[in-house]
Structure 1
Amino acid sequence: MSNVTLPTASLEAAMPVFYSHGLAGASEAALAASLGTTTADLTAQFPSRDLLVHHTMLADIERQKREHVALYAEFPTAVERLYGLLRLGLRDLAQTPPTFYGELQAGFPLTWEAVLEHLNTYSAPQLQQLLNDGIRARLFRSDINIQLVTKIILEQLNMMLNPLTFPPERFSPAEVFRSIFLYYIRGICTDEGARIAAEHFARL
């Protein structure tokens, strides 16, 4: 494995190129230009496409984590943080071509495993922790099934992004988000949590 000298954060700039041209189809020249380096230097640091894709995806995961830290600093309650995480996740998924994860799974299995590990060890526990925090703060109902609610929220996110279910030319993404998540999350809230949810949406 080569020594990686590009700053990790800069690798995020390769993501739009991969989105536009595919993980295998993106040219070395386009990737090097996006990263502010030369093709020769990029090849020297990442002698295989597998290595470049892997480090780029890890950099993007770290970018997500930094955004979550900023989100938590902005919003103090579990209800607001949950809505914020959903918005960030929806934004990222909306920018991702529908073929991207299929290509990742088929052509870059080690990186796909890293993505699944991130979902299993970070994303799902993060949602579960927020639900726990909300229950302790009496913002979410104490009788909810945390694992089941986590699964439902993740599936609702995927459903919202399905253009066959909600054609964007017919349905406003913002209104779909409000209709799905405002009412579902409000349904698992206590009276105090529902009040915060309503105030949060009113500010958006």
Structure 2
Amino acid sequence: MTFLETILEELLQLFKHEGIEANTDSEIVRKLDIRQPTYQELFADRKDMIMQVVRYDIAQQQKEQAAMLDKASNPVEQIMLLLQDGIIRLRDINPVFITDLQLYPEAWNASIRYVSENNQQVNAEILNRGILEGYFRKDINLQLVTKIILEQFFMLVNPAVFPPAKYNLAEVFRSIYLYYVRGICTDKGGRLAEEFFSKNNI
């Protein structure tokens, strides 16, 4: 890991736990334990810093997701692992981070664009393979199902729909997706899904 990657990882964890706006640039420099000139060499300004953190986060998510999906033995398990990973990630994030990120449109749009494109592509591939292998129902509309999954995510992160102070986002995520996945499974896929739920206590 390069020096910049180390700094970006520390920033990502700081933002996820405290939010972006909880610290001024000076406080961030102090918490990173670096000198102000070093900070200025790495980042043109606050917007640039946040954009670099988002890009780093996306790259890490892509690597982790690929490794995670490679471990799955069937498409149902892949969908379940994606679901579980989403729950875990949401549990580890202070909801303020999502709200704060929306104050930086370029970084927020990059994050949402990744979620949108990755979600549609990965889920479509998994669902298509699952249909061919008999785990998911043949009558599902792939384009529609992937769109619904994506829109459910956007609904989840919309503070006007589920205010973080009132709702546990991880629990909302669980409630939305668990039952939806069961509904698109065949009996064969449903048994695997139930088995996965019971073993992993999602």
Shift of 1:26: 2.1
> In structure 1, what is the Cα distance between the partners aligned to 2:197 and 2:163?
24
- 2:112 is matched with 116
- 1:201 is matched with 197
Where in structure 2 are there 5+ consecutive unaligned residues? none
Shift of 1:55: 0.5
Tell me the alpha carbon deviations over residues 116-157 of structure 1, each in whole angstroms, 9 at most, x when there is no partner. 321232222211221112112211111101222223334545
- Contact 1:19/1:97 (8 A) holds in 2: yes
Task: Specify which structure has the bigger relative contact order, considering alpha-carbon pairs within 8 angstroms and separated by 6 or more residues.
Answer: 2
- 1:61 is matched with 58
> In structure 2, what is the Cα distance between the partners aligned to 1:38 and 1:25?
20
1:90 to 87, 93, 118: 87
Shift of 1:50: 1.1
**Is the counterpart of residue 26 in structure 1 residue 30 in structure 2?**
no
- 2:131 is matched with 135
| TM superposition score normalised by structure 2 | 0.77
**Is the counterpart of residue 81 in structure 1 residue 73 in structure 2?**
no
Q: Which amino acid aligns with 1:121?
A: E
Distance 1:66 1:42, change over 3 A: same
Q: Which amino acid aligns with 1:118?
A: Y
> In structure 1, what is the Cα distance between the partners aligned to 2:89 and 2:126?
20
| TM superposition score normalised by structure 1 | 0.77
Distance 1:55 1:81, change over 3 A: same
Of 27-36 and 128-137, deviating more is 27-36
- 1:144 is matched with 140
Where in structure 1 are there 5+ consecutive unaligned residues? none
Q: What is the identity percentage for the equivalent residue pairs of Structure 1 and Structure 2?
A: 33
Q: State the number of aligned residues.
A: 193
